[in-house]
Amino acid sequence: MNHKKVCYFRIPVGELETNTYLLHVSGSSSCLLVDPGAEAERIKQSLQQQGLTPVLILLTHCHIDHTGAVAELARIYAVPVAAHEKAAPLLQDPFNAEMAAAFGLELPPAADRLLCNDEVLTAADMSWKIWHTPGHSPGSICLLSGDLLVSGDTLFAGSVGRTDLPGGDFARLQASLDRIKTLPLHTRILPGHGEASTLEQEMRHNPFM
Ligand SMILES: [Zn+2]
Ligand SMILES: [Zn+2]
């Protein structure tokens, strides 16, 4: 059991202002690095400023705006990369290669660790439950620890992720949102773009909920 407080630090990166998150336990110098989407140098500086060293790079899904700095940071820190088993094969697929070229970003390496639904990931003194939440993409996941939900591009404050990209599926997104609705209302939502929210706020104001 882990009773230490889990903290997060948000770094919006790149043209699409993708949220990179540093997740850690208060007082610890180890963190999980979620969705380093671009601007490796800025992420590196934030890590230094926060006194944190990543032990694992974790991807909420495979889109290039969430993975553009993965290759560089995985090299710098020599850490493995984890993604859902359905996202992993897409990390280097032609659509992502095209998008990487369009944004001038480097394609991520293959995932070292494949995650599956309801798995509990233990790293950096924390336990995160992995929820497979397809819809925005086939291998989208949410990460759950205590009252924190890292929701990727599944759920945003006031909106949801688009489902018109390859592999997107609105019916599956709705089913994923239905699962999120089962969480306590005080759950804090840390989305892949934009400001944090709470489940209560989203139940009241998000038309997709
Ligand atoms: Zn996306
Ligand atoms: Zn995104």
**Ligand 1 centre distance from Cα of residue 1 (Å):** 32
What confidence category does residue 1 fall into, taking pLDDT thresholds of 50, 70 and 90? very low
Q: Which amino acid is at 205?
A: H
Ligand nearest to the CA of 16: 2
Give residue 108's pLDDT.
93
- Outline where the chain has alpha helix (H): 40-50, 64-67, 70-77, 94-103, 170-180, 199-205
**Residue 78 pLDDT:** 98
The CA 1 to ligand 2 mean position distance, Å, reads 32
Ligand nearest to the CA of 20: 2
Residues within 5 Å of ion ligand 2, judged at the Cβ atom = 65, 153, 192
Answer whether residue 3 shows pLDDT above 80: no
164 or 90, higher pLDDT: 164
Domain 6-205 matching CATH 3.30.360.10: the answer reads: no
Q: How far is the CA of 65 from the centre of ligand 2 (A)?
A: 6
Distance, CA of 102 to CA of 48 (rounded, Å): 30
* CA of 52 relative to ligand 1 center, distance in Å: 26
Ligand 2 centroid to Cα of residue 152, in Å, is 7
Residue 130 has pLDDT above 90, yes or no: yes
pTM of the model: 0.96
Tell how far the Cα of 154 is from the centroid of ligand 2, in angstroms.
Answer: 9
Task: Give me the pLDDT at residue 90, please.
Answer: 87
pLDDT at residue 2 tops 60: no
pLDDT of residue 183: 98
Q: What 3 state SS string does 63-102 have? A: CHHHHCCHHHHHHHHCCCEEEECCCHHHCCCHHHHHHHHH
Sequence ranges of the domains in the chain: 6-205
Determine the Cα–Cα distance for residues 180 and 185; give it in Å rounded to an integer.
10
